Chain A
């Protein structure tokens, strides 16, 4: 039997990988999108685990919404990426430094 704490540890590890990926990764924007997805996957694991162990369905319903929003989010992200490729001919992060800060 897998305990609730195991799920929570797994999700926190995935969450940290996602967060670290965003801050360490300095090359590619697609990678950033993947890291965001990792964070959301960690959240989903959390919700499902809590929901399963407490017998409350609301958490699992929340996960459906997160999945849908994540799909919409990636759609917009990729659209912005396409625009960026069109204007710069590259999707590397190094090139995106016109605005300092």
Chain B
């Protein structure tokens, strides 16, 4: 029987969430009553709220506590993830505003929905019971469905929203079914008690069977949210159909939350069943890397290509979890963060070319970009080389760390498969570089993005280079989270 108690002093540990929730309410009210002239302020308030929330979360790094009767956990990993979520969201929203302006989609609900989904991610990152994890997941997903559909006049966006909605709902259903099985056999929603139950060596074979039955559904639910093969059907369609700003948001920040969900459920909760779930993850990871790399070769739409590239990157992340050692988990977290940094820059460089309703989403739109704007062509070059895993860029080290751990744990064949497909995937990244530098343009593309967009995109591109100079520091930081 759970004993619910409420202690006011515990509220200090949820300060970032509380602040963000109040900020959302205030911004919502402000936007409702503000005059036309003051409306643009909503964007700045949103950014301010994110900065303060990130700072509050940063302040809590080092503290650790399990509060609210075991439903909410505060640890270094959670706080660090929150800081990264805020940082990436700030960059994403800068790009978003330019995109929305260029396409006359700028409505302030967009920012409020984005904040709401970030709140859901924070709850997910800190969830310590099946209930909080589920609630966080739904707060995040429901806001994301609405975000995609916010481009009301675009038939493709509505279709993408519908696909994401239906498949997301199925994923939640499967995850819940797994949770109900886990709850039934362990008799608790608390992750710590589930972990204690799984650790007990006196499990009857029937109990192990039901536990594994639930585990399979949990893995399917998480794989759906991450977009890993064979649960990837929604990824290309949703990425292509959504407005590019939403695609960027979808492919970046929620991935941290999904990884946190995986860590909380599989490692914190069912860590003792590691030999069961790592087999499942291994199949999913290999299929993701293979399919993501091969199908991306045939795409002419850059958003669809990046969708398949995401699938293959997610495969690499899951490889880190397959190893079942702390260093492997750390490498996976490092990979996710690096992937998000690269993905932000990749979508940012699509968005920077957008103007007056022109959507630069075909690869042929990049022809001759190096002549018209060499600086942004250079950034795209860095991003693509980094995604392909060419040293000295950061994408190389993230792949290297994963492969090191995979080999150290004796999965030589896995490492060989991963490397072969990484080489294959280099083709479509290089193809974009070739299009930019060696193809002649039939029409002139000029970049007319505002200053903040240019500056942030440049910083983003430079970060990919800079982080690559001291990868081991970031890697040890990632490992120390566990």
Contact = CB atoms under 8 A, between A and B. Distances in A.
Interface of A: 8, 15, 18-19, 22, 29, 32, 36, 39-40, 42-43, 46-47, 49-50, 54-59, 61-62, 65-66, 69, 72-73, 76-77, 79-81, 83-84, 87-88, 96, 98-101
A81 B184 CA distance: 36
B62 interface: no
Contact of B177 (A43, A57, A72, A81): A43
Given A59-B183, A66-B176, A99-B240, A80 B165 contact: yes
B162 interface: yes
A79 B176 CA distance: 24
Contacts of B189: 58-59, 62
B183 A87 contact: no
Contacts of A80: 145, 149, 158, 161-162, 165
A2 to B, nearest CB: 16
A77 B155 CA distance: 16
Given A47-B180, A76-B165, A80-B162, A58 B237 contact: no
A41 B372 CA distance: 58
Contacts of B134: 62, 65-66, 69
A77 to B, nearest CB: 6
Interface stretch (B166-174, B381-389, B411-419): B166-174
Contact of B156 (A40, A58, A66, A98): A98
B158 A77 contact: no
Contact of B1 (A46, A57, A87, A100): A57
A15 B187 CA distance: 21
Given A62-B130, A69-B142, A76-B145, 16 more contacts: A36-B169, A56-B188, A57-B2, A62-B131, A62-B183, A62-B189, A69-B134, A69-B138, A72-B138, A73-B169, A80-B165, A81-B162, A83-B149, A83-B152, A98-B159, A99-B240
A34 to B, nearest CB: 11
A99 B241 contact: yes
Contacts of A39: 170, 173-174, 176-177
Given A62-B189, A73-B169, A101 B158 contact: no
